[in-house]
Amino acid sequence: MTGRRRASRSGVFALCLLLVSLVGCGAQPAADSAKADVQRLLDSRSAAVLHHDETAYTRTGARTAYENLSAVPFASWSYRLTALHHTGATATADAELSYKVRGYDTAPVTVGRVLTLSLTADGKWYVDSDKPAKKSGQQLWDQGRVSVVKGAHSLVMGVGQSADSLDDYRALADHAVPAVSGAWGTDWSRHVVVLVPGTLDGMAGLLGSPAASYRGIAAVTTGEAGGSGSAPADRIIVNPEAYAMLGAVGRQVVLTHETTHVATRAHTTSATPLWLSEGYADWIGYRGTGRTPVQAAPELHSAVQDGDLPTALPTDKDFGFSSDPAKLAQAYEGGWMACRMIEDRWGVARLGTFYRAVGTHKKRPGAVEDALKSVLGVTLGEFTAEWREYLGGQLG
Domain 25-136, architecture per CATH? Roll (3.10)
Query: d(Cα 317, Cα 307) in Å, to the nearest integer?
Result: 23
Query: Picking from 59-63, 196-200, 346-350, which range would have the lowest pLDDT averaged per residue?
Result: 59-63
**Chain-wide mean pLDDT for the chain?**
90
CA distances to 19, 98, 135, 219 from 129, in Å: 39, 17, 18, 30
Contacts by 148-151 with C-beta closer than 8 Å and gap 24+?
A: 148/71, 148/72, 148/73, 150/73
pLDDT of residue 29: 57
pLDDT of residue 171: 98
Taking only the tens place, the pLDDT of each residue in 216-228 is 899 999 875 555 4
Q: Is 6 helix (H, G, I), strand (E, B) or coil?
A: helix
Q: Is the pLDDT of residue 4 over 50?
A: no
Q: If residue 171 lies in a helix (H) or strand (E), which one and from where to where? A: helix 163-184
- What CATH fold (topology level) applies to the domain 140-266? Glutaredoxin (3.40.30)
Taking only the tens place, the pLDDT of each residue in 159-190 is 999 999 999 999 999 999 999 999 999 999 99
Domain spans of the chain?
A: 25-136, 140-266, 269-396
pLDDT of residue 320: 85
Instruction: Tell me which DSSP letter residue 86 carries.
Output: E
pLDDT of residue 14: 38
State pTM to two decimals: 0.88
Taking only the tens place, the pLDDT of each residue in 58-100 is 999 988 999 999 999 999 999 999 999 988 899 999 999 999 9
Query: d(Cα 194, Cα 185) in Å, to the nearest integer?
Result: 21
Average of per-residue pLDDT across 317-335: 88
Q: Is the pLDDT of residue 13 over 50?
A: no
Structure confidence at residue 41 as a pLDDT band (50, 70, 90): very high
pLDDT of residue 32: 79
pLDDT of residue 396: 84
Are 183 and 222 within 8 A, CB to CB? no
pLDDT of residue 5: 38
Q: Is the pLDDT of residue 361 over 60?
A: yes
In the chain the first and final C-alpha atoms are separated, in Å, by 114
